[in-house]
Amino acid sequence: MGQTRSVCLVGHSGSGKTTLAKALLDMGEGVAEATFDESPEERRRGYSIDLAMGACQWKGTQVTILVTPGLGEFAEEIYKGVVAADLAVLVVSAEKPVEVVTEQAWTILEQLDRPTMVFVNMMDKPDVDPDNVLRELREQLGDVFWPVQLPMGVGSELNGVVGLLGGNDSVPDELQSRLDEAKSSLLEEVATFDDALVEKVLADEEIDEKEFTSALRMGIESRGIVPVVWGSAETGVGVPQLLEHVLGFAPERNYPQEPRLRVFSMTMDPYLGKLSFARVLGKEVREGASLVNVRSGEKVQLRDIMAHKGTKLERVEAAGEGDVVALTKLEDLVLGDTLAGSAEAEPEPEIPFPKPVFSRAVAPKAQADEEKMSMVLRDLVTTKVTLGYRRDPVTKEAILSGMGDLQLDVLAERLSNRYGVDVEYRVPKIPYRETIRKEATAQHRHKKQTGGRGQFGEVHLRIEPLERGEGFQFVDETKGGVIPQQFIPGVEKGVREALEVGIVAGYPVEDVRAVVFYGQYHPVDSSEMAFKIAARTAFKAAAEQATPTLLEPVMMLSVFTPEAHTGDIISDLNSRRGRILGMESGSGRTEVKAEVPLAEVLSYALDLKSMTQGRATYQMEFLRYDFVPSQIQEKVVAMASATEDAD
């Protein structure tokens, strides 16, 4: 097997990642015309939505190019591409180097500790300034960016790049002094990663290129140095040199001599079905090989193995160390799975994907498509961790979750284009619950005579509030057979039925203990049904005396924002009945933690985007149920009554 390298292009939308990826692949050997952004949704919108891949041969090395979307709601794809790559290339525009997703991608690269370089694209645009690009990168992202090239001209006069490493022929006189100065500065920085090199620099000894390159690679692998190169993907200037640097700067991997693959991405192909993309992290694997899914312990047989040639997938018999492949017909895999030779193998580290935070109720426009919509959505959400689909047990609505309205709009478009299902969204109902605040007792006798055998059951109940989260407890304290034991299950069933329909506004009741302590029965007319009806009515009567109240879901929010927006975010959260729990600052960003009722953050993804121009992100998870303030409870009850009257 030959050498393999994989590189992931990340950056803001419009920085030229897709154009650069195409230019890199077109340089490769034996690659037909490479095409990206082929889905109808991507073609119509004019930007990337999914992780795209392609591969080429370059001087005996198989190079896989992974291209990520440049919009924040599709950040999941950045995680997927970066974990599969040896090296990340942060693509920035020379006109506007640091934009929203530039910052977001940089944060992800730091989180995943991935070696990175920068390609400054669009150097052929008028009035661009290399010094300004470097200054912005260093001021906004950190003092780790060091040019390893200089552009020969800018704008319409851009005619090449010249490297700081190795000899250079035909360097213009006006560039030579800048080249010498840049190389001297880079050498001083590189030397800090090699003690022997520091001593040579201090002693003013000559340093050969091999020593220089070795120390530079150490700096790159530790993320202490991020090399910066220049060019234009549109004209091809700097593209061959970028590919050379990818091969030179990507760290060497030590592959174990056992089979090992990591599943990093999935997609639903209209013709091939579910495709699981994996990187080979061990020895060669062949078609038909039997491996173990380390997560589940189940055996997995590799049936069809496919690899990229250009941007097209072709079936191959085997895949070697470092190769990126697509596996078909493996329905039980999930994102992040490790496939290995034995169940005792250590899994690959978990990928820290973001979780969906924006939810909408979804329904098909045509009632006949209900089942098809559910089936398709259940399949699609298995390929994206930032998508979720469920049916709320309280509101009975189908809930689709994602990172924001754009992601859900794209999904709706895809449902229509690929599966012929048109859907509509609406703001979901809040899944309130109900509970009681004090103890109360009640009794009810159910007695009915209909000519034949009658119905009789009398139940005396005491209900008591429980702590939040304790659910429901049923206790039998009857003595002396006042209710025969065969009818006690009927009492419990009646109480449970009453819990489901609620007291205040028709929501399920929880955190209640129901104690049956007395009753009466008839030797002929009593039945389980009679006691169920009596218990249900007795519970309702007791609950009305026990200060019934609504509970609402409270969420834990973690908002990650540039420091400049911290004050606005705290003020906004306070206006949403939020409770600020704390803040933590670092690297120019602040994490704000707060508890906020779900009812106040149903559209928080949209509001936060507007408030911070898309620069802040957040994560949200359910925390607990808590009492609803009285003035809000009145509104909820009124709405529930109006809905009931309308029905």
Predicted confidence (pLDDT) per residue in 325-372, tens digit: 999 989 899 999 999 999 999 999 999 999 999 999 999 999 999 999
Q: What is the pLDDT of residue 4?
A: 93
What dihedral angle (degrees, nearest 10) is formed by the CA atoms of 73, 79, 81, 83?
180
The Cα–Cα gap between 367 and 370 comes to 6
Fold of 550-632: Alpha-Beta Plaits (3.30.70)
The percent of residues above 90 in pLDDT, for the chain, comes to 83
- Sign of dihedral through CA atoms 40, 43, 46, 52? positive
pTM: 0.92
pLDDT confidence of residue 1: 43
pLDDT at 28: 80
Most confident listed range (197-201, 292-296, 638-642) = 292-296
Q: Which residues have C-beta within 8 Å of that of residue 167, sequence separation ≥ 6?
A: none
Q: What is the mean pLDDT of residues 53-73?
A: 94
Question: 622: left (phi > 0), else alpha (psi -120 to 50), else beta?
Answer: beta
Report the Cα 533 to chain-centroid distance in Å.
48
pLDDT of 647 above 80: no
pLDDT digits (tens, 9 = 90+) for 146-179: 999 999 999 999 999 999 876 666 787 778 889 9
Which single residue is written with the structure tokens 């978990």?
Answer: 350
Average pLDDT across the chain, whole number: 93
- The three-class DSSP label of residue 35 is coil
Q: What is the pLDDT of residues 276-320, one digit of tens each?
A: 999 999 999 999 999 999 999 999 999 899 999 989 999 999 999
Question: What are the tokens at 442?
Answer: 């009640």
Give the strand order in the sheet containing 290-293. Answer: 299-301, 290-293, 338-340, 260-269, 273-280, 324-328, 305-309, 312-316
Asked if 450 contacts 492 with a C-beta cutoff of 8 angstroms, the reply is no
Q: Which two tokens stand for residue 183?
A: 């190389």
Task: Quick: pLDDT tens for 119-147.
Answer: 999 999 999 999 999 999 999 999 999 99
Per the DSSP assignment, residues forming a β-bridge with 436 are: 548
CATH T-level assignment (fold) for domain 434-546 = Ribosomal Protein S5; domain 2 (3.30.230)
What are the CA-CA distances from residue 517 to residues 441, 443, 509 (Å)?
A: 10, 10, 21
Range with the lowest mean pLDDT among 206-215, 289-298, 458-467?
A: 206-215
Answer whether residue 186 shows pLDDT above 50: yes
Stretch 478-491: mean pLDDT: 96
Percent of the chain scoring above 70 in pLDDT = 97
Q: What is the pLDDT of residues 421-460, one digit of tens each?
A: 999 999 999 999 999 999 999 999 999 877 677 899 999 9
Evaluate whether the domain defined by 263-340 bears CATH number 2.40.30.10: yes
Do residues 614 and 72 make contact, with C-beta atoms less than 8 angstroms apart?
A: yes
Residue 30's pLDDT band, with cuts at 50, 70 and 90, is: low
What is the model's pLDDT at position 203?
A: 78
Long-range CB pairs of 188-191, under 8 A, 24+ apart, other chains included: 189/146, 189/219, 189/225, 190/215, 190/216, 190/219, 190/225, 191/215
Domain 434-546 and domain 550-632 have a common topology: no
Residue 143 burial (C-beta neighbours within 10 Å; 0-12, 13-18, 19+): exposed
- The CATH class of 3-168+219-249 is alpha beta
So what's the pLDDT on residue 645?
A: 66
pLDDT category at 195 given cuts 50, 70, 90 is confident
CATH pick for 358-426 out of 3.30.70.870, 3.30.870.10, 3.40.50.720, 2.60.120.20: 3.30.70.870
Q: What is the domain partition of the chain in residue ranges? A: 3-168+219-249, 263-340, 358-426, 434-546, 550-632
Q: Give the model confidence (pLDDT) of 388-424 as tens digits.
A: 999 999 999 999 999 999 999 999 999 999 999 999 9
**Would the pLDDT of 567 be above 70?**
yes
How confident is residue 489, by pLDDT bands cut at 50, 70 and 90? Answer: very high
**Quick one: pLDDT at residue 29?**
76
Residue 565 clears pLDDT 90, i.e. is over it: yes
